[in-house]
């Protein structure tokens, strides 16, 4: 009761502060500028004069492009972009495509931006030399390499996370003396001075060597892992002395990847009848993943790591790999990545193993997936679903009740018969064209339709959500490409599939739209791009002249910087004088704003303010509140399934998981809990409330005394404080009431008046004094009694096998806390004390077996973007299983019928797409 009394008092004082602040505002400076509201007429006049367009024709077809994203502390203001054409010529622009210059006439076959340093870039030639720049392409040095680049489809250069000058070169072996039909493998060299000098590393490499640094536990900075051919199999070997000595970690693997905190290995079972996945956090000890009950990964299947950014691995396992009818099950791990439960079945994938799964950038735990609603049929029917709890539950996308013309869609609620469906990852031409952007918080755009299933792409319309996927609206009839600018304050649409010379844009999240003619003649637009962080107000349209013969590209810069020179104000101390609102994502159908056990607020520009954001706004806002735990903070544990009533039930014929294994995996763990069927969602930071995952504790071997101390209850001086503190708190409440009573309604009192004395409110009058003392004593007594009873009961129960109500994590630590953890800015806040002790970040990789047309027993690792980008540094957040690949011919882009094996790259460090 005292707590509620204190809370009411604090709310009253806060109200008084607000009243006082409002009163002071009446006397504030009167020259505050009026809010500039957007309307289509005023915007159109400004746009005609101030949006500039500059076209640049270039010979050849653009095969790849890369933006030099500026580091957060950079003083440079350039927006540099580099491209490679089908003629083997590299061009560079330092002003986002307004002006271009050729870099060289050499035969450039690939552009390799540094995976960890945005200022480094390498131009790969077909000969034994490369061009390297360490200053964002301002200067290039010609460097000799020990061999020509490999033609086996392997990564050409891999990088060190902490030392930008440390490189591994994957070159071509001298295969002239090999017997006919024998595979030509890769020869690797390393350099510690950015290619000035190369030293031999390892021969006979199948696909790649990588520095294994940046794992959750620190490793030797020289630790390197390689896939080495050994007879008919590939083994995983490691070394810390550049392979003067080596250690065989696995004798038969499919592939491996270093994904942020984890090293993940796809291996073959000893009897070669199935696949297994092993994970390491230190590059030395590996733990095997455990699949759900009755779920077996056969050798005819494949699995794809979709996401690791939310403290758990999200994994797709192919159930049906028959061509054109492929689908599988999405599994989700616990926080150490070893124990999996089913998240959603029948998730769509394509021939290459890429999956219709995409997370919302910038907001934790929201993802969209397409499922096959008619599994087994030859003609797939797809439907879209969304999760707001990191895959613990899924629901259909809410359809807009009316379309962009104001006509009814005939679909008012998302159900089995009708919902919004969006074309997903497997149909995307450029995988960088994601639904969302980390800097445009809460916004997603996609092409799709309202109905019982997804129709053909060309029959779709374009949709937008501005509240994180809770509700959607139709932006336009037809299919459009989109791009975000200035952190979402500008959205640009260009019509897709048909020739056009117009683009449509909005400054207010789609409330009003304007049209701009960017070319006198219609052109075929293939892409629209901007800097990966989406902070620029400039865009680059990639187009082909509609009537042109041969390979020609028209690069058209559209510049919105002239539309306003007013920079948005961000004033966290005075929200009435800034241009941003604080927005909190919310799960549809719930009244609170708790997601994953906490509330997070994000800065979002007020749509009707005509200003530009400029520098990247730190996200999320620092105001974070942990919520009490509820059922929504838990998912089903290993060997349990989600029943129709929402409870977690034990799978028939299976036993509960053995949680005592955690003691062996984590020697510092004090105690473990008997399984209840529930486990906390790894991302949740909830406190108190429902504790569904820890009912009966047991001491880990060797920690019996520590476990006993956790449940002894309070005694001695602690019990004394428990009794005395409530009385002290009540006294403080009385004192505050007594001293602040006269401050109500914002009045300032300098002393007592005669009127106060007459009505009994003077300092010596018992009319107020003694009742407050009496009430305080009663409050203190009644607030102390429950605590005393609880602690006495806890002290008794601590001597039995029952658990203590004192909350402890499974490792004996305090509950989750939030802290700024990821310098990349994608997920700025995350639990730093994880119950199951191991966290994952943004690791997205796909492993698997070959399909029936493959010539190999098991397929290679192929990036999601292999269909349209022929460089070996993918920007994709997925890497997929695929049939075996033909030899890589430099300068020849892969096609859907001939995928190229490329290196897994974490999307956090994706050189082409670091923020998306």
SS3 annotation, 849-867? ECCCCCCCCECCEEEHHHH
Residues contacting residue 340 through CB under 8 Å, at least 6 positions apart: 289, 290, 291, 292, 313, 315, 331, 332, 333, 334, 638
Nearest-angstrom CA–CA distance, 152 and 149: 9
More confident residue, 58 or 691: 58
More confident residue, 311 or 765: 311
Task: Answer yes or no: is pLDDT of 140 > 80.
Answer: yes
Nearest-angstrom CA–CA distance, 309 and 841: 4
Model confidence at 704, in pLDDT bands (50, 70, 90)?
Answer: confident
Q: Of the ranges 752-761, 838-847, 872-881, which one carries the lowest mean pLDDT score?
A: 838-847
Question: The tokens of 472 are what?
Answer: 């959607």
Q: What is the pLDDT of residue 774?
A: 55
Model confidence at 733, in pLDDT bands (50, 70, 90)?
Answer: low
Task: Answer yes or no: is pLDDT of 894 > 70.
Answer: no
In sign, the C-alpha dihedral spanning 642, 645, 646, 648 is: negative
Q: What is the pLDDT of residue 66?
A: 94
Task: Answer yes or no: is pLDDT of 828 > 50.
Answer: no
Contact yes or no for 894/864 (Cβ under 8 A): no
Q: What is the pLDDT of residue 494?
A: 96
Contact yes or no for 915/532 (Cβ under 8 A): yes
Model confidence at 221, in pLDDT bands (50, 70, 90)?
Answer: very high
Region of 756 on the Ramachandran plot (φ > 0 left; ψ -120 to 50 alpha; else beta): alpha
Nearest-angstrom CA–CA distance, 183 and 207: 12
Mean of the pLDDT values across residues 759-764? 40
Contact yes or no for 475/511 (Cβ under 8 A): no
CA-to-CA dists, residue 784 to 42, 725, 807, angstroms: 65, 8, 20
What's the distance, CA 477 to chain centroid? 30
More confident residue, 272 or 390: 390
Q: Percentage of the chain surpassing pLDDT 70?
A: 71
In sign, the C-alpha dihedral spanning 840, 845, 849, 855 is: negative
Q: What is the pLDDT of residue 660?
A: 79
Nearest-angstrom CA–CA distance, 199 and 177: 23
Cα angle value 550/54/464 (rounded, 5°): 90
More confident residue, 660 or 787: 660
Nearest-angstrom CA–CA distance, 864 and 878: 6
Model confidence at 364, in pLDDT bands (50, 70, 90)?
Answer: confident
853 closest CA partner among 304, 274, 322, 302: 322
Q: What is the pLDDT of residue 670?
A: 76
Task: Answer yes or no: is pLDDT of 880 > 60.
Answer: no
What are the tens digits of pLDDT across the range 228-267? Answer: 999 889 999 999 999 999 999 999 998 898 877 778 898 8
Task: Answer yes or no: is pLDDT of 768 > 70.
Answer: no
More confident residue, 658 or 464: 464
Nearest-angstrom CA–CA distance, 890 and 884: 18
Beta strands in 709-826 (DSSP E): 818-820
CA-to-CA dists, residue 407 to 404, 410, 473, 477, angstroms: 7, 9, 12, 12
Nearest-angstrom CA–CA distance, 16 and 743: 8
Q: What is the pLDDT of residue 727?
A: 59
Q: What is the pLDDT of residue 480?
A: 96
Mean of the pLDDT values across residues 47-62? 86
Q: Of the ranges 400-409, 454-463, 682-691, which one carries the lowest mean pLDDT score?
A: 682-691
Nearest-angstrom CA–CA distance, 334 and 119: 37
What are the tens digits of pLDDT across the range 185-219? Answer: 899 999 999 999 999 999 999 989 999 998 878 99
831 membership: H or E segment, kind and range:
strand 829-831
Q: Percentage of the chain surpassing pLDDT 90?
A: 40
130 closest CA partner among 161, 103, 92, 153: 103
DSSP state of 424: -
């Amino acid at each position: 009761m005292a707590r509620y009394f204190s809370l009411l008092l604090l709310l009253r004082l806060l109200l008084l502060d607000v009243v006082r602040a409002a009163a002071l505002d009446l006397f504030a400076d009167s020259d505050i500028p009026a809010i500039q509201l957007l309307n289509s007429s005023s915007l159109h006049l400004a746009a005609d004069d101030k949006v500039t367009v500059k076209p640049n024709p270039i010979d050849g077809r653009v095969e790849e492009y890369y933006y030099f994203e500026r580091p957060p502390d950079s003083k440079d203001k350039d927006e540099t972009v580099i491209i490679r054409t089908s003629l083997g010529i590299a061009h560079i622009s330092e002003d986002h495509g307004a002006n271009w210059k050729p870099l060289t006439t050499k035969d450039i076959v690939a552009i390799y931006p540094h995976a960890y340093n945005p200022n480094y870039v390498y131009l790969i030639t077909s000969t034994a030399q490369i061009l390297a720049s360490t200053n964002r392409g301002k200067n290039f040095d010609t460097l000799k390499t020990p061999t020509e680049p490999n033609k086996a489809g392997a990564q050409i250069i891999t990088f060190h996370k902490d030392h930008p000058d440390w490189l591994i070169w994957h070159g071509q072996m001298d295969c002239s003396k090999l017997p006919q039909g024998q595979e030509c493998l890769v020869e690797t060299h390393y350099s510690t001075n950015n290619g000035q000098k190369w030293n031999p590393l390892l021969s006979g490499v199948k696909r790649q060597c990588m520095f294994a640094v940046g794992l959750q536990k620190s490793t030797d900075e020289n630790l390197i892992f390689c896939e080495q051919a050994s007879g008919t199999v590939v083994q995983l070997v490691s070394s810390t002395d550049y392979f003067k000595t080596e250690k065989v970690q696995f004798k038969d693997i499919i592939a491996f990847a270093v994904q942020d905190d984890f090293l993940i290995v796809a291996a073959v079972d000893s009897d070669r009848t199935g696949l297994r996945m092993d994970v390491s956090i230190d590059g030395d000890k590996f733990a095997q993943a455990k699949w759900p009950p009755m779920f077996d990964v056969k050798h005819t299947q494949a699995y794809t790591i979709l996401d690791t950014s939310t403290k758990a691995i999200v994994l797709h396992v192919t159930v049906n790999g028959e061509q054109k009818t492929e689908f599988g099950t999405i599994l989700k791990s616990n926080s150490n990545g070893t124990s999996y439960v089913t998240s959603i079945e029948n998730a769509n994938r394509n021939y290459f193993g890429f999956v219709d799964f995409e997370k919302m950038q910038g907001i934790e735990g929201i993802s969209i997936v397409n499922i096959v609603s008619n599994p087994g049929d030859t003609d797939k029917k797809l439907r879209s679903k969304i999760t707001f709890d990191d895959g613990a539950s899924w629901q259909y996308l809410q359809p807009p009740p009316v379309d962009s013309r104001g006509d009814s869609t005939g679909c008012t609620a998302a159900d089995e018969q009708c919902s919004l469906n969006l074309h997903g990852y497997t149909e995307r031409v450029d995988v960088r064209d994601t639904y969302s952007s980390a800097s445009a918080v809460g916004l997603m755009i996609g092409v799709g339709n309202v109905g019982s299933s997804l129709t053909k792409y060309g029959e779709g319309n374009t949709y937008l959500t501005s509240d994180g996927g809770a509700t959607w609206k139709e932006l336009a009839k037809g299919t459009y490409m989109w791009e975000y600018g200035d952190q979402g304050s500008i959205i640009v649409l260009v019509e897709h599939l048909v020739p056009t010379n117009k683009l449509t844009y909005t400054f207010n999240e789609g409330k009003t739209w304007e049209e701009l003619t960017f070319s006198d003649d219609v052109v075929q637009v293939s892409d629209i791009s901007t800097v990966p962080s989406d902070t620029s107000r400039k865009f680059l349209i990639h187009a082909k002249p509609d009537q042109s013969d041969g390979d020609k590209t028209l690069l058209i810069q559209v510049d919105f910087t002239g539309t306003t020179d007013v920079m948005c104000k961000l004033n966290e101390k005075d929200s009435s004088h800034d241009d941003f609102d604080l927005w909190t994502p919310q799960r549809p159908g719930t009244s609170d704003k708790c997601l994953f056990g906490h509330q997070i607020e994000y800065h979002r520009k007020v749509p009707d303010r005509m200003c530009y954001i400029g520098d990247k706004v730190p996200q999320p806002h620092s105001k974070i509140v942990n919520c009490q735990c509820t059922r929504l903070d838990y998912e089903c544990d290993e060997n349990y399934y989600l029943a129709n009533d929402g409870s977690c039930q034990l799978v028939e014929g299976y036993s509960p998981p053995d949680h005592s294994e955690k003691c062996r995996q984590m020697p510092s763990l004090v105690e473990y809990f008997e399984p209840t069927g529930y486990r906390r969602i790894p991302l949740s930071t909830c406190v108190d409330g429902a504790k569904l995952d820890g009912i009966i504790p047991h001491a880990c071997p060797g920690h019996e005394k520590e476990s006993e101390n956790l449940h002894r209850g309070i005694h001695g001086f602690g019990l004394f404080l428990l009794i005395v503190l409530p009385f002290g708190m009540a006294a403080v409440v009385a004192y505050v009431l007594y001293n602040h009573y006269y401050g109500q309604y914002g009045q300032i009192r300098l002393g007592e008046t005669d009127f106060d004395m007459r009505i009994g409110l003077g300092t010596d009058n018992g009319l107020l004094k003694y009742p407050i003392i009496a009430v305080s004593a009663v409050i203190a007594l009644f607030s102390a009694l429950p605590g005393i009873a609880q602690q006495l009961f806890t002290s008794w129960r601590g001597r039995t096998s029952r658990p203590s109500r004192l909350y402890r994590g499974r490792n004996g630590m305090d509950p989750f806390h939030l802290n700024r953890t990821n310098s990349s800015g994608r997920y700025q806040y995350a639990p730093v004390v994880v119950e199951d002790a191991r966290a994952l970040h943004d690791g997205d990789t796909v492993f698997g077996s070959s399909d029936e047309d493959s010539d190999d027993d098991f397929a290679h690792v192929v990036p999601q973007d292999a269909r349209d980008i022929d460089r070996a540094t993918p920007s994709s957040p997925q890497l997929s299983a695929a049939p075996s690949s033909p030899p890589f011919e430099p300068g020849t882009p892969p096609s859907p019928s001939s995928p190229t094996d490329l290196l897994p790259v974490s999307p956090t460090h994706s050189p082409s797409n670091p923020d998306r």
